[in-house]
Amino acid sequence: MTTMDTRTGRDGWAAGTRVYVENRRGRLPAYTITEELVREALRDAPQPLTLTVRYADEPDFAALAEAEFFMGSGFDTRRLADHAPRLRIVHCTSAGVDQYLPLDWLPAGAVLTNSSGIHAEKGGEFGLLALLMLNDRIPEHATNQRRHRWHRTLSSPIRGKTVLIHGVGALGGAIAEKAKLLGLQVLGTRRSGAPHPYVDRMHGPGDLRRLLPEADFLVVSCPVTAETRGSIGAAEIALLRPEAGLVNVSRASVVDYAALADALRGGRLAGAVLDVFEQEPLPPEAPWWDVPNLLVIPHVSSDNPEDYVRRSVALLAENIGHLVAGRPLRNVVDPVRGY
């Protein structure tokens, strides 16, 4: 990949824009940030635009040293701390930022932004799918298929049942919206406790244990913070009804998977749909492949291959415009809250 300097000057813009984009080898094409996408998104940015697009294993340290804006995912924070003193915005193409905390590596005056919100449409649809699968005991049917076992389990309609969404942010809110289409009662937790148009009853995280016995379905969609890590442990899983189901589209570290597996094996939980794991790709020897009534989804629930990168680049472009205009930036990660 190359470095280019596009000189198309525009009246009213200041000195120019220097952007460094980092891709990782081996990822699906849907996650590749191309020069064309960035140039199109930044057509109204201060010119001239100096754009460097590199793979992580072939860095351009000279360009990185001059860059004001960085975009990538799974990047080496120490590299940025040591080689990118002029950065003003570091934009992560994912929503989760737990691997970058604490933010003591950020150059002075720089902020970290994420791509929270771009996953909502696809993630909401997946949440609807997962709820329907759990209601109709699809994880159990899949387990019986692998065992060549014919066992008829009947299920009632989903309308009128209750879903508890642990973490009503952009993704959790999108799932709540889809859940209302199914006629579900929606309970939610969020740090602020602020109401949401698609949540019937919103609560703070401290009410989680009290709410769990009411849930037919538990959807985990909260960011990983010191408060949420391990928040769905053995004690919380034990509070769920035996016929309940669990969906995790957050991070594996929020849920005690060993306790979850024990509950599934013991018939103390009806099913689970997991889209996230501590080690990804999930190795063949991982125990989760063979846990009964558990569906393993390879972390694809929320990413739209047609515009995932385009939307993320658009967020960075918008923030560059906001920075130039002196307006507040979107999706700035709060180092205290952790998201």
Query: Which of the residues 43, 151, 280, 337 is marked catalytic?
Result: 280
- Which of 18, 54, 119, 251 is catalytic? The answer is 251
Which one of the listed residues 299, 310, 311, 322 is annotated catalytic?
299
CA separation for the pair 136, 172 (Å, rounded): 22
Nearest to 167 by CA among 110, 96, 260: 96
Task: Answer for the pair 220, 246: CB distance below 8 angstroms, yes or no.
Answer: yes
Can 251 be counted among the known catalytic residues? yes
Look up 280 and say whether it is catalytic.
yes
Kindly state the DSSP code that residue 190 receives in the 8-state scheme: -
Q: At what angle do helices 138-146 and 120-135 cross, to 10 degrees?
A: 70
ω before 281 within 30° of 0 (cis)? yes
193's torsion region: left (phi>0), alpha (psi -120 to 50) or beta? left
Task: Collect all residues with Cβ–Cβ distance below 8 Å to 69 and sequence separation of at least 6.
Answer: 17, 18, 19, 20, 87, 88, 89, 90, 91, 316, 320
Is position 201 annotated as part of the catalytic site?
Answer: no
Helix 170-181 vs helix 120-135: angle between axes, to the nearest 10 degrees?
Answer: 50
Q: How many helices (H) and strands (E) does the chain have?
A: 10, 13
Query: Are 273 and 132 spatial neighbours (Cβ–Cβ below 8 Å)?
Result: no
Active-site residue list: 251, 280, 299
